Amino acid sequence: MSYITSVLMGILQGVAEFLPISSSGHLALFQHFFGAENYEETQMFFTVLLHLGTLLSVFIYYWRDVLDLIREFFLGIGALFSKGRKEQRQTTPPARLLVLLIIMATLPLFLILPVKDAVEAAMNNAAFVSLALLATGFILYFSDRMAKGRKTEKTATILDAVLVGLAQALGTLPGISRSGSTISAGLLRGFDRTFAVRFSFLMSMPAVLGANILTLKDVIETGAVDLELLPVYLVGMVTAAVVGWLAIRLVNLLASKGKFGAFAWYCWIVGTVSLVAVFLVK
């Protein structure tokens, strides 16, 4: 792998991970029509580093939130075993409430485990991916037209978090944007637009970190780590982090102004073109 390839893969990861266009869907279509190398299978260690790069971009962009979440997670555990829980509940810090919401939103991902093989198999079905991209377009289009809510971590409910978590589980399907579906679900539940984006990206951190730890475990067990390519891999990782930070900023800007419609049209165009191509290219 060359440095140019590493940079290009980093850019692709940073852009597609956060913009509501489904990174997995684009990867599946690219591999189907162009016979591209599946880096997730042949370069597992590089794939882990790319995902860690975009995870780092979330941490940097929301670093104050992340530090507050970590602190309140442990303080919250301590509060469970302390006296005066009723009094503490009345003055629960917003960050501790957010921790609870993120935990509840992560639980629906376990529903994917029994159908994990079917979800992975969908990556090889270009027609399915194309239809899923069209569906993502409709999700984004209608989310633009939702009335602006006012819910934040202070007023959001457990049910709100679970429903957004179900949208995240749906977002594991190739062609369905994780960020697009979770932000739209938040807006549907009356989230403030800024909070909907913030919650979507923060709730992705446990899932992404957990998935990469499991993948890294497989990489170490198989010994598929080429240390000679480590400098090249790190360039891609840094690129993914920088581009990812810019993508998060762009999504926040567009969401605050209700401008997801542009991504809807993009998904419709790509989905339509690829669906037609499925029947033309044998």
Instruction: Dig out the tokens for 279 from the structure.
Output: 């029947």
Which two three-digit tokens encode residue 264? Answer: 């809807």
Question: 3-state class of 191 per DSSP?
Answer: strand
Q: Judge whether 46 and 236 are in contact, CB under 8 Å.
A: yes
Q: Per-domain residue ranges for the chain?
A: 3-280
Ranking 15-19, 38-42, 46-50, 82-86 by mean pLDDT, the lowest is 38-42
Burial category of 89 from C-beta neighbours within 10 Å (exposed 0-12, middle 13-18, buried 19 and up): exposed
Cα–Cα distance measured from residue 272 to residue 275, given in angstroms and rounded to the nearest whole number: 5
Q: Is the pTM of this model over 0.85?
A: yes
* Residue 242 and residue 115 in contact, taking contact as beta carbons nearer than 8 Å: no
Average pLDDT over residues 135-164: 90
215-255 pLDDT, tens digit each: 777 777 776 666 777 888 899 999 999 999 999 999 998 88
Distance, first Cα to last Cα, the chain:
30
Q: How confident is the model at residue 60 (pLDDT cuts 50, 70, 90)?
A: very high
Give the pLDDT confidence score for residue 170 in this predicted structure: 93
HSE (side-chain half, CA atoms, 13 Å) at 133 = 28
Average pLDDT of the chain?
85
Strand partners, 191: 151
**Whose structure tokens read 């991902």?**
109
Tell me how far apart the alpha carbons of residues 128 and 131 are, in angstroms, rounded to a whole number.
5
